[in-house]
Structure 1
Amino acid sequence: MSYEVTRQHVETYFDRTATKTWERLTSDAPVSGIRATVRAGRDRMRDLLIAQLPHDLTGARILDAGCGTGALAFELAARGADVVGVDISPQLIDIAEKRRPTHVTGSMEFSAGDMLDVSLGHFDHVVAMDSMIYYSQDDITRILHNIAPRIRGNMVFTVAPRTPLLMAMWRVGKLFPRADRSPTMVPHSPERLSEAISRGTLRNIERVTSGFYISNALEYRP
C-alpha cells in the first residue's frame, strides 16, 4: 500500500476501533497482563528516545510526529521545549488536549494532520514513537527525505524490528481480507533502511522488548 493509503487505514483504525483501548493503555488505569507489558515497553522506549535529545531543551522547537495522547509531548514541554504535536487521529488529539498539563516550562500545540505537512515549519528535533511502524521501507525513506530539510538537529523514531515472530505475524496478517485487518506492523532491518536512504545517516540505537511490545529505536541525521 502507498503512504497515503496506509495513513488513511491507520487513521480509521484509531478513530473508530482502538480509541478507548489506546486511551486506557496510555493512562494510569489498571490493564491486563499483556497490555501491562506493552505499557512498560512504551514507557521504556519513551525514556530512550528522550535520552537521544539534549538534556536542556529550553527554546527547542520539536515535532512530535504521531503524538497520540500526548505523553511524550508533555515530557518534552516540561523540559522547556516548544512542542508541536501532530497525529492523524483527531480522537487521540482530543485526548491529548484533555490531558494537557496546566504548567510546563515550554509550550504545546496539538493538531490533527500529516507529519509531512510543510506548513508545520522547521524543527530542532523530531520524535516519532511507534508512528512509523506501519510503513514500508520506501515510505520510511520518503518520510526521512521529505522532512530532512526542515530538521536542524536529529530525528529519533522507531520501527518494528525484523524478528522471526514479527515476520510470522506480518505474513499471517496478509492472509486476511484487507477490510478485516487492523494496521499491520511492517518489520524492518536497520541495516537495510540505512542502505536505502540517499542522504543523511541512520544510527541503530536499541531494541526494546517487553512482552508483546517489540520496537527498535533509530536516530536519523540529515
Structure 2
Amino acid sequence: MTASPAYDATRARVETYFDRTATRTWERLTSDAPVSRIRQTVRAGRDRMRALMLSRLPLDLRGARILDAGCGAGQMSAELAARGADVLGVDLSPQLIGIAEARMPAELRPRVQFVAGDMLDTAHGTFDAVFAMDSLIYYDRHDLNTALGRLAQRTELIVFTVAPKTTLLTAMWWAGKLFPRSDRSPVMVPQAPGRLNAASVGRIASGFYISECMEMRR
C-alpha cells in the first residue's frame, strides 16, 4: 500500500499548519492557558475523547509498546506512559515535538520517545497498539483506509478518530470557518463511520468539537 499524491499533499498542508501557522495556538489549546469560549469547547471535547480512547486499553500497560500517531503536544503519550507503556510519539511538527518533550514529566521520560516524522514510517517498528487521535481527520476515505492498512500491518489494535459526517460538520467543511482565517486548520474530511472497516466506539460532541472514536482489531 503506497500513499497517493493527494495524501502527500494533505500531509504537507498539515505539517505547515501545525509547525508554522498555529503552533502557539495549539500550545495554548493543549495547556491550562486561557482560551476563547469556542476553543474551550474544543479543549473539553478533546479531553473527553482522550479518555474514551484510553478506556479501550487496560489500566496496567507494563510491557506494551504503543504508537501515539500524530502525538501533538504529547498529552496522550503521557497518559499511556503513566499506565506503564513504552510509547513512541510521532508527529509531523518538530515544534510540537519540542513542546511535548518539554512538558513530559521527568518520571515518565524514560518510557517515552518523541520523533518528528511520518507516523506511517515502517522504521518505527511494530506495536501492541496504535492510537491516532484527530491525526487522520484530514484525509479522504481512500487515503484514510490506506493509512489504516499500513498501520494494521504492524499492530493488532488501532484506536483512531474521524470527523463524522453530520450536518454541522458538513456545513463547516463547506464553509471552512471552524477557526479564524489567520489560524484556520487544514480542512477536515467528514467520514461515514459505517463505511470504514472498523467498529464505532462512541462519539464526542462538545461545541465546535465533534469526533467519532473508531477501533480496528486484527
Q: 1:58, CA displacement in angstroms?
A: 0.4
Q: 1:32, CA displacement in angstroms?
A: 1.6
Q: Aligned ranges for residues 62-211 of structure 1 at < 5 Å?
A: 62-104=66-108, 107-151=111-155, 153-173=156-176, 182-194=185-197, 202-211=198-207
Candidates 205, 211, 218, aligned match of 1:215: 211
Q: Distance in 2 between matches of 1:70 and 1:125?
A: 17
The unaligned stretches of length 5 or more in structure 2 are: 178-182
| Partner SS for 2:136 | coil
Q: Distance in 2 between matches of 1:170 and 1:213?
A: 13
Q: 1:59, CA displacement in angstroms?
A: 1.2
Q: Distance in 2 between matches of 1:61 and 1:50?
A: 14
Whether the 8 Å CA contact 1:63–1:85 is kept in 2: the answer is yes
Which amino acid in the other structure matches residue 93 of structure 2? S
Cα deviation code 1:108-127 (max 9, x no counterpart): 00010001100000000000
TM-score by length of 2: 0.92
User: Structure 1 residues 105 and 27 mapped into 2: Cα distance closer, same or farther (>3 Å)?
Assistant: closer
What value does the CA root-mean-square deviation take over the aligned residues? 1.7
Residues matched between the structures, number: 209
Q: Distance in 1 between matches of 2:59 and 2:162?
A: 24
Q: Distance in 2 between matches of 1:128 and 1:19?
A: 19
Moved over 6 A (4+): none
Which amino acid in the other structure matches residue 213 of structure 1? Y
Q: 1:221, CA displacement in angstroms?
A: 1.1
TM-score by length of 1: 0.90
The unaligned stretches of length 5 or more in structure 1 are: 175-179, 195-201
